[in-house]
Amino acid sequence: MSTSPDTFDPLAVAVDWLGAGRSGDLDALLDLYDERATLECDCEVVVLTGRRALSAYWEPKLDCLSERAFSLNNMALTGDGVQVDYQSYEGKPVRILFRFAPSGKIAHTSCGPLGLRCPA
């Protein structure tokens, strides 16, 4: 996927993110994030920054994926990114909001249980 601002497709990055998660490929997942990316998780009430922290967050989840993990329910462009409703690593419904750096890498994600939070 090209990361040129002229050809950047945020929906494609979100699809790649789901694919990396579904396949349990930690390196591919992390490669989609900017070096200084942040993640806010309402389920675990954590805010993380940087590849090392993201790796520590995602590694145990990718090691125990449910059969429905990372299955897409809905996806839409928002004013500043992409909103994705999908099945968590446990197979539970989750909404994640992606914001992107100019490079096309993920700059920020914010996620929580679907139906228990308002979209940003």
Q: List the CATH number of the domain containing 65.
A: 3.10.450.50
Least confident of 9-13, 15-19, 41-45, 85-89: 41-45
User: What are the tens digits of pLDDT across the range 70-105?
Assistant: 999 999 999 999 999 999 999 999 999 999 999 999
**Please, are residues 26 and 17 in contact by the beta-carbon 8 Å criterion?**
no
Question: Is 3 part of a structural domain of the chain?
Answer: no
Tokens 């500043």, located at residue: 80
pLDDT at 34 over 60: yes
Q: What is the pLDDT of residue 114?
A: 86
Q: Would you state the pLDDT for residue 5? A: 47
Question: Any idea what DSSP says for residue 50?
Answer: S
Coil, strand, or helix at residue 94?
strand
Q: How many domains does the chain have?
A: 1
Note down the domain range covering 33: 10-113
Indicate whether 2 belongs to any domain. no
The answer to whether position 119 is within a domain reads: no
What are the percentages of helix, strand and coil residues in the chain, rounded to 5? 25, 35, 40
